[in-house]
Chain A
Amino acid sequence: MSAIAPPSFIRQFQIIPLVSVAAVGIAWQLLALSGYFGMALPSPVDVIRQFLQMIQEPISGVSLLGHIWASMFRVLSAFFIAVIIGIPLGLFMGWNKKVEAIVKPIFEIFRPIPPIAWIPLAILWFGIDEAPKIYICFIGAFVPVVMNAYTGIRFTDPLLLDAARMLGASKKQQFLEVAVPAALPAVFAGLQNGISLSWMCVLAAEMVGATKGVGYLILAGMNMDNPSMIICGMLIIGAVGAAIAAGLRLAERKILPWKREIAQ
């Protein structure tokens, strides 16, 4: 498609985003220099300097990478459990009316409760170590994973099931050969939602009581009166979240090769 647009057209749309971001950066720098917000608003230069320092020196005894890994570990463990339980549960719920009748009402009761609301109870149950944090992240991931798998199967094209039945498929074969593969794009959407929600939950969990993690970094920044560290923490969180999402999209493209972008 790029051969069709004249070069100036493309250049426009590659340059404009860069200019836009640079403009924001410059505006920020000027605002910080003006001192209007005083110490509360560090300049971009300050933030970069802080970031470099964080790479070299440990914060509260743990390296930057160590903090990032701590959070990732919590999210990935929780996500793993959510996927192992959630995908089969969602798929069966969508396929079997009896299972749906039993599980769905319970689900609907718990679904509206935000994962963050579970924090106090989780602490009561599991203490303040890793377990409650993983639990919260699990709740965050569980709901979208299950619901997406459920809707994915529920809306299986009946035409495809008819075709399979004509070819002699048993109920089980209809499920495995048609319904599940057809639901995979929805399942992946659920995974994307689940992991991003899980990532958000880990921050909340860490801010309540942790000794390491990216959420902890933000808290540490606040306690140390170091707004640069806070902003660094925020940017790192955003970057890691984006990287995880990109990784998942790559996995999706590998596993679902037939789902291509519709080219003009």
Chain B
Amino acid sequence: MSADVEVRKKKVQVKNLTKKFGDLLVLRDISFDVYDGEFLCIVGPTGCGKTTFLNVLTKLIPTTDGDIYIDGEPANPLKHNLSFVFQEPSSMPWRTVEQNIRVGMEIKRWPKEKADQRLEQMLDLVGLRDFRNYYPQQLSSSMDQRVVIARAFAIDPDLLLMDEPYSQMDLKLRYYLEDEITRIWRELKRTVIFVTHNIEEAVYLAERILVLTPKPSTIKTEVKVDLPRPRDFSDPEFVKIRNHVTEMIKWW
């Protein structure tokens, strides 16, 4: 799997990203690349500016310096497909599951046949086919979150950003959802940046992990995760990588 990484083209390039709020320097000269179809995890100590980083990445707030390029051009939410999955489910309560998944495709004006086909595919991938006509309030929060994920993947995003989407769920459910996201990712071959506090989750999901330093944040190190999937948290190799990343974070 990792041999392909070198051959893959660069999908996202972040160059010298810097963000200041007044005098407060939050992000300091962050540069990295994300390859097409890669699953990248970003971990860091508490309060290291991960949320600011994501906000800047999606152009929700402007950078102080540096820029983000997608396919060689400056990232533009109007031109590029950027999908975002937040920590709390952000499904639209006035729309059913099916209608929620359709939203992005409606905005991008996909032809009906293509949208219908993608809808069915997504419903199957997240296992919510039986719930297509339910409203989000009628679902558990994990199902709600999966509607959001289906919606995010449906539009073939150039970049999918996920900000600790499973942090509120119990461990067994997390394993299940992590397997599910891996499955969706492999089938649709999208580029994913997954931010998490949970190192085990990062090692379970990522092809590569970026470790951030505390504020002002910059990239401390990069860890390649070359393990075959499905991964086993008790596998000695897994444990080794996990301990390594943990050390990197503790070691300020």
Which residues on A are within 8 Å of B, measured CB to CB? 3-4
Contacts and interface: CB of A to CB of B under 8 A. Distances in A.
Interface of B: 21-23
Contacts of A3: 22-23
Contacts of B21: 4
Nearest to B21: A4
A4 B21 CA distance: 6
A4 B22 CA distance: 4
A3 B21 CA distance: 9
Contacts, number: 4
Contacts of A4: 21-22
A33 to B, nearest CB: 48
Contacts of B22: 3-4
A3 B22 CA distance: 6
Nearest to B22: A4
Nearest to B20: A4
Contacts of B23: 3
A239 B23 CA distance: 40
A52 B23 CA distance: 49
Nearest to A2: B22
A103 B22 CA distance: 55
4 contacts: A3-B22, A3-B23, A4-B21, A4-B22
Nearest to A4: B22
B24 to A, nearest CB: 8
B223 to A, nearest CB: 34
A115 B165 CA distance: 53
A3 B23 CA distance: 8
A231 to B, nearest CB: 45
A4 B23 CA distance: 7
By Cβ-Cβ distance, the 4 closest A-B pairs, closest first, are: A4-B22, A3-B22, A4-B21, A3-B23
B21 to A, nearest CB: 6
B232 to A, nearest CB: 39
A213 B23 CA distance: 54
A56 B22 CA distance: 52
B73 to A, nearest CB: 28
Nearest to A1: B22
A6 to B, nearest CB: 10
A160 B144 CA distance: 29
B47 to A, nearest CB: 15
A110 to B, nearest CB: 37
A177 to B, nearest CB: 31
A191 B22 CA distance: 39
B75 to A, nearest CB: 24
A211 B183 CA distance: 82
Nearest to A5: B22
A126 B85 CA distance: 66
A3 B24 CA distance: 10
A117 B218 CA distance: 68
Nearest to B24: A4
B25 to A, nearest CB: 12
A42 B21 CA distance: 50
A104 to B, nearest CB: 30
A4 B26 CA distance: 13
B201 to A, nearest CB: 29
A4 B19 CA distance: 12
A4 B62 CA distance: 13
B20 to A, nearest CB: 9
A250 B23 CA distance: 32
A4 B64 CA distance: 12
A263 to B, nearest CB: 13
A229 to B, nearest CB: 51
A8 B23 CA distance: 18
B60 to A, nearest CB: 15
B252 to A, nearest CB: 26
A100 B128 CA distance: 46
A264 to B, nearest CB: 9
Nearest to A264: B21
A3 B20 CA distance: 12
